[in-house]
Amino acid sequence: MRDWKQIEAIQLANRDWFRKWEATNPDGPANFDYRASVRNSIRQLNDESAIPLVIEYRGKLVGQLTISNILHGSVSSAFIGYWISPEVAGKGITPLAVAMACDYMFQVVNLHRIEIDIRPENAASLRVVEKLGFRFEGTKKGFIHINNDWRDHSVFALTRDEVAGGLLNRYLKH
C-alpha cells in the first residue's frame, strides 16, 4: 500500500503517455482510483492469482509489472503486463524486469508458459518482446477496452523449455 501515491503521481503526471495504452472500463467511471487498484492487487497476491511488482531504477519507483491470471496444473501459465515512466523508457529497464519476472515464474513458481499481449501499434512494447525472444502467436481481436474502444492485441509467448538456461541469462548474452 505504501507505493500507491507514487504510482498515482507517475500516472497523473504522464496522462498523455499512458492514456493510449491503459485499460479502461467501458461501463465504469472515467477516473481511476489508484489506491483501490493497489488494494485489488494485494487481494490478488493473497489469493495467488497475481503478483504485482514495482519497477525501480536507481532506488526510485519508475514502473509496475504485474503477473496475472496465474494458473497451475494442466495450464500452468500466466500473463505479464507492465508500464514504465517515460523519463526512463528506452533504457533497457523493462526488458530486464520482464526477464527477471519470467525467470521467477519458470524457476520458482514452476509455470510452463508466460504470455504478453500488446497492441500492434505499441512499438516500445513490441521491442521488449523482440529483445527477449518471445514468439508471436497471433492476434486477439477486440481483446481489451482501451481509450474508449475495444482494441486488438498481438499475442507473444514463451515456455520454460524455450529458455531452459533462464531468460535473463539469454537476454544479457545478446
As given in the structure block, the three cell numbers for residue 77 are 501459465
Per-residue pLDDT, 174: 81
pLDDT for 15: 74
- Domain tally, the chain: 1
Query: What is the domain-level CATH number for residue 98?
Result: 3.40.630.30
Give 159's DSSP letter.
Answer: E
Which residues of the chain, if any, have pLDDT below 50?
none
Residue 82, domain extent: 4-173
Q: What pLDDT is recorded for position 143?
A: 92
pLDDT of residue 44: 73
Find cell 523493462 and name the residue. 94
Q: Read off the pTM.
A: 0.86
pLDDT confidence of residue 84: 92
Beta-bridged to residue 27, according to DSSP, are: none
Return the H-helix or E-strand segment holding 39.
helix 34-46
Work out the number of other CB atoms within 10 angstroms of the CB of residue 122. 15
Q: How much is the pLDDT for 148? A: 81
Mean pLDDT of the chain: 87
